[in-house]
Structure 1
Amino acid sequence: MSEILEVIQLGHPVLRSQAHNVDNIHSHQVQSLIDNLLMTVIAANGVGIAAPQVAVRDRLFIVASRPIPRYPNAPQMEPTAMINPQILAHSTELVPGWEGCLSIPGIRGLVPRYQAIEVQYSDRTGKLHKQELTDFVARIFQHELDHLDGIVFIDRLQSNKDLITEQEYQKLHPV
């Protein structure tokens, strides 16, 4: 049975560690983790979550773009488990965008990310996917991939002046 997991917060050592490749996608442990991450990202009102955010050092994350209060203009997509993901190619253009993180609540940062990326990952059945992602979904992928390498969005800021509280962000960018 699936459960909502605790999302660890900035300062927990797993958030700053390298995740390990998933060798047995079909194992009960990995399939259960996927189900739990799917429940957790929805319950936490997120658009993505990586295994390290629940203190698991596996190279696995969920991309679950959909309109939510924090991201009302997010495109709707089926939540997708991405296992052993990687970026194969990317655009040269970096585009700044406001990001938040379930592990750093109440803060947003203006983070430069590639506008378009070509990615590869395995899904929960073990099928290998190659696809191009753009805009907001590309941003989610890059944000979650960083978690697998022990990087959080505040590490990508060009300046500390690019930080803002969620409360001030909502005042400056009303829906």
Structure 2
Amino acid sequence: MRLPVYLYGHPVLRKTAAPISRDYPELKKLIENMFTTMYASEGVGLAAPQIGRSDRIVVIDADPVKDSFPECEGRKFVLINPEIEVLDGEAVSRGEGCLSLPGLSENVSRVENIRLRWVDENFEPHEEVITGFLARIVQHECDHLEGKLYIDHISMIRKQLIKGKLNNIIAGKTRCDYPAKYAPKKR
């Protein structure tokens, strides 16, 4: 089932997500719905807070960007309770967008070498060194689990320059090509 994507300004996007356990209700169905929502929205990653769930679950399918970033070929993950360790290396600035921030894209500086630890949908543990653009995708999605958005990594000047666009998202004046849930109206 295709779920609405929660947009900038919604409080769930700023909460730290809670770890989940094996007895999480209807986990397989949630994961299936997350992939359906991500594909229908033309994303390569989706974190549970983006569908209104403050839980430590991320789905990624980086294969659509394999032509530009070969390390992404065939890389499809379900990350439950992921942990990232930053490894040595220079930070690289690249453009990022987000389903929760429709119509926006900003250059964000991130490291390209990380160690990722997680459990999959069967609660099997995994550990892997991930590099390049795939590392960027993982960091971006895992930021959502900490209540962070990619715009938290840009300069104050850039934030000022896009403030009107951000306010339009909060006010529900921005449209996207997928079902969305806007921030609650303030009274």
Does TM-score exceed 0.5, indicating one fold? Answer: yes
Provide the rounded CA distance (Å) in 2 between the counterparts of 1:77 and 1:99: 21
Q: Distance in 2 between matches of 1:114 and 1:107?
A: 22
Task: Identify the residue that residue 91 of structure 1 maps to in structure 2.
Answer: 88
1:136 aligns with 2:139: no
How many residues are paired up?
A: 160
Could you tell me whether the CA contact under 8 Å between 2:86 and 2:111 is conserved in 1? no
Structure 2 length as normaliser, TM-score? Answer: 0.79
Partner Cα distance (2:20, 2:14) in 1:
18
Q: Give CA-to-partner distance per residue, 1:32-86, whole Å, 9 cap, x none.
A: 1111111111111001000000000110101111236xx9624322421100000
Amino acid across the alignment from 1:18: T
Equivalent residue letter for 1:73: S
Higher RCO (C-alpha under 8 Å, 6+ residues apart): 2
* Alpha-carbon distance in structure 1 between the residues aligned to 2:128 and 2:76: 16
Secondary structure of the residue aligned to 2:64 is: coil
Give 3-state SS (helix, strand or coil) of 1:46's partner: coil
Distance (whole Å) between structure 2 residues aligned to residue 65 and residue 158 of structure 1: 27
Q: Cα RMSD between the aligned structures?
A: 2.1
Residue 6 of structure 2 aligns to a residue whose secondary structure is: coil
User: How far apart are the structure 1 equivalents of 2:90 and 2:75?
Assistant: 27
Equivalent in the alignment of 1:13: 11
- SS of 1:101 mapped into structure 2: coil
Partner of 1:112: 109
CA distance 1:14–1:76, shift in 2 (3 Å): same
Trace 1:121-160 onto structure 2 (pairs within 5 A): 121-160=118-157
Runs of at least 5 residues in structure 1 that lack an aligned partner in the other structure: 166-175
Q: Which whole-Å CA distance do the structure 1 matches of 2:115 and 2:155 have between them?
A: 24
Amino acid at match of 2:45: G
Tell me, what secondary structure is at the counterpart of 2:5? coil
Report the identity percentage. 36
**Does the CA contact (< 8 Å) of 1:38 and 1:79 recur in 2?**
no
Say whether the 8 Å CA contact 1:82–1:122 is kept in structure 2: yes
1:73 to 34, 46, 68: 68
Is the contact made by 1:65 and 1:137 (CA closer than 8 Å) also made in structure 2?
Answer: yes
